[in-house]
Amino acid sequence: MSVTYRVERYKSIGDTIVQLFLTRASDVIASVMTRKDQLPLEQPPQHAFDWLFVAVLSVTAGAVDVIGFLALGGLFTAHITGNIVILVTHYTTGGFSRIGPMVAVPVFIAVLATVVWIFKDRPKQRTLRALLILQAALLTGFLALSVALGPFSNPGSAIAASVGMLGVAAMATQNALVKIDLPGFPTTAVLTTDTVLFAIDLVTLACGNVSPEETTQARRRIRMTIPAIAGFVAGCAGGGLLELHFKLWALVFPVVMAVIAVPLSGGISRSIPVTKTQFPRAKQEGRNSIAVS
């Protein structure tokens, strides 16, 4: 068998595999974007503003996170995972010089716990709007103090860290409001959970051996996780570019987005069905399912 023949044969096999993959992918995408549900399930409707509201919150979080990271010496305001990694890394290498990541973890937890304690038993209609206003107010304070006291020649200083805690408090508030008032909505301040659920739902639709109800639920979740993921990425990109050109004035961008989220909250459905997502193979073999909360 000549080398040329084998190359052509492998190329033909490769082209066939790629064609099958693209065909299957197009079927999945078409299924995801289909608006008509397969069954008349009694579920809370998804309003037109749901995806836009999620996208606005995600853009806000992404912008605040990247601006804080660039302007405050590596401080993550939107999630504590990065701060824990930085804290432990610096501690183990003996090169720790920033107090921001160290203080951010307890501040995030304290604000989150306080917000939940105050608002968890209050009417959801009032709670969501109040928390959105609180988030906008905290971000406005973050902007005002950053512009007044910055730029910070020493991002590891106590003043810089104290100013950054307003951003941390704002993002803790956003995390709390999603959990308290928007059951079933995707997280808007971190991508890990949304990416995992997005991948699981894509596999669910691609395999096609699940019930029509699970297929419908997967479509609904994907229509919400896509704006969350895209919004966070867009917020990071926009916030990063603005910070490079305008420094801490770039915080105007997430402040405006946070203000926009307040009136948008009046047009959302407030809940999305929370169900169990299963890997198709796990369902057939009777294995444990993965619960989505």
d(CA 229, CA 196): 11
Q: Which two tokens stand for residue 170?
A: 């704002």
pTM for this entry: 0.76
Q: Which secondary-structure segment (H or E) carries 277?
A: strand 276-277
Contact 29, 201 (CB under 8 A): no
CATH architecture of 43-283: Up-down Bundle (1.20)
Strand 290-291, strand 276-277: pairing: antiparallel
Tens place of pLDDT for every residue, the chain, 293 residues? Answer: 554 555 455 556 556 554 655 565 555 455 545 444 443 333 444 566 889 999 999 999 999 999 999 999 889 998 788 888 887 887 787 766 678 888 999 999 999 999 999 988 887 777 899 999 999 999 999 999 999 998 888 888 889 999 999 999 999 999 999 988 888 899 999 888 899 999 999 988 888 777 888 888 888 899 999 999 999 999 999 999 999 999 999 999 999 999 999 999 887 875 554 444 444 444 444 444 434 43
Q: H helices within 182-272, ranges in order?
A: 192-207, 212-246, 252-264
CA dihedral defined by 73, 116, 188, 213, rounded to 10 degrees?
160
